[in-house]
Amino acid sequence: MAEIGHFIGGQHVAGTSGRSADVYNPATGEVEKTVALASVEEIRAAVANAKEAQAAWGATNPQRRARVFFKFVDLLNQNMDELAELLSREHGKTLDDAKGDVIRGLEVCEFVCGIPHLQKGEFTEGAGPGIDMFSMRQPVGIGAGITPFNFPAMIPMWMFAPAIACGNAFILKPSERDPSVPMRLAELMIEAGLPAGVLNVVNGDKVAVDALCDDPDIGAVSFVGSTPIAQYVYAQATAHGKRAQTFGGAKNHMIIMPDADLEQAADALIGAGYGSAGERCMAISVAVPVGEETANRLVDMLTPRVESLRVGPYTDEKADMGPVVTKEALTRIKGLVDRGVEEGAELVVDGRGFTMQGYENGNFMGGCLFDKVTPDMDIYKTEIFGPVLSVVRAKTYEEAIDLPMKHSYGNGTAIYTRDGDTARDFASRINIGMVGINVPIPVPLAYHSFGGWKSSSFGDLNQHGTDSIKFWTRTKTITARWPSGIKEGAEFSIPTMK
């Protein structure tokens, strides 16, 4: 059985810790590979390698750094089918969805091809008598990224692309559940011309996470995962003097107004709620129809759509969604559905009993649809991260908007309406980081920044867009005056422009 090790110094190296984890095919439930779990010593070796490589890379002019990413984007397109196959086999998502995973990462790589412009500083001539003032954005040195299982291509590229483009070296610790794609991305970066050691991939578990947060040579840490771990990583990293951006869970609401195109809204909810088996931090998991008539019509439209979802392995080109990632995840999701029934929610469509001939050991589950969910229920409060959509009925717009406003998570939200005043009010008032107006999954394009509010995000700067350039660099400001402009004699008061 193949064992995945680490990628350090531009080459694959075997793990030496003596610890490993199984890598499953979620469709079959079978172990297909094992992955090494790094020790603290292996993390230190990767960091030392990165530190040695960073000095020359940081001194490389930005045009040459950009050329690596131009080539990398080309290689991603050339290897799209291979990457999607690797991703689907370990994650379970459909091939089309896997390609979307790669493409959304590729778009950030396209964005950082503009690093010569993005990393420019500022200049003021004549800021004072004979004084010029300018600033520059310099790399933090070594960055680290800790990424989740649900987007094994996109999120690593969201992190390492801007970090490396800015002149940093980078240590990537991907999820141990689906590690093959991150390793392949590292190979392609080397093929694109990245010097060895600038991007190292170290597989591991909590031991590796703690080592990255503690390491004195790492200047910045980025994380995506659950909220409890996001809080933990943020506290650990900042306690050791690092800057950190950590992104946690979500409970994304879609409000459906009485004037909305309900057919359009129902289709949007199906795609946003059940795509990737609901294993997305931007999945819509709560539908909030306003008014009883709207709610009744919406549930009537959703029910046959959920019942007819085609569930299957990634090799089924007609599948709408695949299995969830692990048996533990499947057990947890089913347990939360059980809890919803116990709490009194109406389970309109029950996907718990779904089985697939020939894939009886796979982690498959059909779509579930709850109606008449209330805010006091666990299924409303908790991020289920599975193919479960809850309908929470609201009598008025104010009651509807109050739901996401008061929820502890604040990642994404959406509203479906034909009324411009309502949409504008919603976008202005809502305390959520990313907002869609007749758009169900409002993930910003690469040149805008991605990030939630409240318990969905910790840190001041978001991912990709201009925020990423700020996060992976430090600003240095220089005030210069040459001898011809210097007056004789000491000056004891603080300099001013008066």
SS3 24: strand
Please give the distance of CA 294 from its chain centroid, rounded to a whole number: 33
Burial of 394 (0-12, 13-18, 19+ CB in 10 A): buried
Catalytic, 368? Answer no
Q: What does the alpha-carbon distance between residue 10 and residue 189 come to, in Å, rounded to a whole number?
A: 9
Determine contact, residues 403/410, Cβ cutoff 8 Å.
no
- Label residue 427 exposed, middle or buried (CB < 10 Å: 0-12, 13-18, 19+): middle
**CA-CA-CA-CA dihedral for 458, 459, 464, 470, to nearest 10:** 180
Task: Give the C-alpha distances (Å, rounded to integers) separating 344 from 273, 390, 483.
Answer: 21, 13, 80
Query: Taking the mean position of all CA atoms in its chain, how far away is CA 98?
Result: 14
Give the other-Cβ count within 10 Å of 108's Cβ. 26
Q: Which of 109, 166, 213, 281 is catalytic?
A: 281
Q: What pairs with residue 142 in β-bridges?
A: 169
Rounded Cα gap, residues 463 and 162, in angstroms: 9
Distance CA 50, CA 140 (A): 13
CB 218 within 8 A of CB 189: no
Q: Cα-flanking dihedrals φ and ψ of residue 257, to 5°?
A: -80, 155
- 């998991």: which residue's tokens? 285
Catalytic positions are 281
